[in-house]
């Protein structure tokens, strides 16, 4: 009698499994929202055992905290290369509504992340500082310019993602909308001496 031996095999994962899991998590959240994300489903998408994510993230909240942290790091990088506040604002809104959509969905959601996580706090602070530094390239109309800058980019990103602007601005370019709105609140500095 021949014995048939069945074995479940999970492919060995080469490379950085943590990065793969975060990338897959961002894809799931971008497509279906944070509620659709489970560690087991994420493991299945990454082609690893259902226990593998636990080696990198304590739980779902830990995973979402890491996703938010990575999002702030990427947002900072995107904004840092912008030479003016207008372009910093464009980089922010394009990140939030485009390539960073899955990250952005959890970046400001303290009900899903651990807002006291030191890495998250450091990344959030660094990204916020780049946005704040960008306001130095415009003529502020008041001391509340940093608040206005954040309200502008966060509000516009939210309006674009929710589809609220489809009726009033169908097919509008996100960068163009951002520049137009920023110019209402901020005047570019003409000549620095």
| Chain segment 94-153, per-residue pLDDT in tens | 999 999 999 999 999 999 999 999 999 999 999 999 999 888 888 877 788 889 999 999
Percent of the chain with pLDDT over 90: 62
| CA atoms of 60 and 64, how far apart (whole Å) | 6
Q: Where are the domains of the chain?
A: 58-188
Q: Which pLDDT score, from 0 to 100, does residue 189 have? A: 67
CATH class of 58-188: mainly alpha
CB atoms within 10 A of CB 146: 15
Region for residue 171 given its phi and psi (left: phi exceeds 0; alpha: psi -120 to 50; beta: otherwise): left
pLDDT at 192: 47
CA distance 62 to 3: 44
For 108-135, letters b (16+ CB in 10 Å) and e give: eeeebbbeebeebeebbeebbebbeebb
State the chain's mean pLDDT as an integer: 88
Helix, strand, or coil here: 47? coil
Helix (H) / strand (E) element for 187: namely strand 187-188
Q: Which residue(s) pair with 40 in the sheet?
A: none
Q: Which of 43-47, 72-76, 97-101, 173-177 has the lowest mean pLDDT?
A: 43-47
Q: What are phi and psi of 187, to 5 degrees?
A: -105, 135
Angle at 110 between CA 43 and CA 21, to 5 degrees: 15
Q: What is the pTM of this model?
A: 0.86
Q: In terms of pLDDT, which residue wins out, 146 or 8?
A: 146
Q: Output 70 or 9, whichever has higher pLDDT.
A: 70
């Amino acid at each position: 009698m021949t014995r048939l031996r069945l074995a479940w095999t999970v492919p060995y994962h080469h490379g950085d499994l943590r990065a793969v899991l975060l990338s897959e998590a961002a894809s799931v959240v971008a497509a279906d929202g944070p509620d659709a994300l489970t560690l087991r489903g994420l493991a299945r998408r990454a082609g690893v055992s259902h226990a593998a994510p636990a080696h990198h993230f304590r739980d779902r909240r830990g995973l979402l905290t890491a996703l938010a942290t990575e999002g702030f790091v990427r947002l900072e990088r995107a904004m840092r290369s912008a030479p003016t506040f207008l372009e910093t604002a464009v980089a922010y809104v394009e990140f939030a509504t485009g390539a960073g959509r899955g990250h952005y969905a959890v970046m400001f959601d303290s009900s899903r992340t651990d807002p006291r996580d030191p890495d998250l706090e450091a990344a959030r602070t660094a990204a916020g500082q780049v946005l704040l530094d960008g306001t130095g390239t415009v003529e502020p109309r008041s001391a509340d310019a940093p608040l206005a800058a954040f309200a502008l980019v966060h509000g516009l990103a939210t309006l674009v993602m929710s589809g609220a602007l489809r009726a009033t601005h169908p097919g509008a370019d996100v960068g163009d909308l951002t520049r137009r709105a920023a110019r209402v609140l901020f005047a570019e500095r003409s000549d620095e001496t």
